């Protein structure tokens, strides 16, 4: 393979087919991290603390970016809110 050729990205079918993909605007790497933390469905996020999830994830993946916290906050909000505000269904809406 020449250096100018790129390897095709591996598709994460487990994440793509996860019930967590129901969360609006959730990115596949975030879903992968939630799966790696033991979650499979949106309802399992209810009552969880996003900061604790980030701490737990960083024990497994020390280089986890800080913006993962915003996605966790959004995902938990979505799980806990029967009629979520569409303006809050963006990870950037959850920055400090």
Domain count, the chain: 1
The pTM assigned to this predicted structure is: 0.88
Q: Is the pLDDT of residue 2 over 60?
A: no
Separation of alpha carbons 73 and 23, rounded Å = 12
* C-alpha distances in Å from residue 52, one per residue of 22, 45, 70, 88: 22, 12, 13, 21
Distance CA 38, CA 32 (A): 10
For the cut 80, the answer to whether the pLDDT of residue 60 exceeds it is yes
Q: Where in the sequence is the domain holding 59, given as residue range(s)?
A: 13-94
Which residue stretches of the chain are H helix? 13-16, 28-36, 50-60, 68-80
Quick check: is 30 in a domain?
Answer: yes
3 part of a folded domain:
no
pLDDT digits 0-9 by tens, 3-59: 556 667 788 899 999 999 999 999 999 999 999 999 999 999 999 999 999 999 999
**43 lies in some domain:** yes
């Amino acid at each position: 393979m020449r250096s100018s050729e790129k390897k095709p990205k591996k598709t994460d079918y487990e994440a793509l087919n996860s019930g967590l993909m129901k969360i609006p605007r959730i990115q596949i790497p975030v879903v992968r991290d939630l799966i790696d933390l033991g979650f499979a469905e949106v309802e399992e996020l209810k009552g969880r603390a996003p900061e604790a999830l980030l701490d737990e994830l960083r024990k497994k993946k020390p280089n986890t970016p800080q913006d993962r916290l915003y996605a966790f906050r959004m995902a938990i909000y979505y799980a806990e809110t029967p009629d979520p505000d569409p303006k809050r269904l963006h990870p950037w809406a959850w920055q400090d």
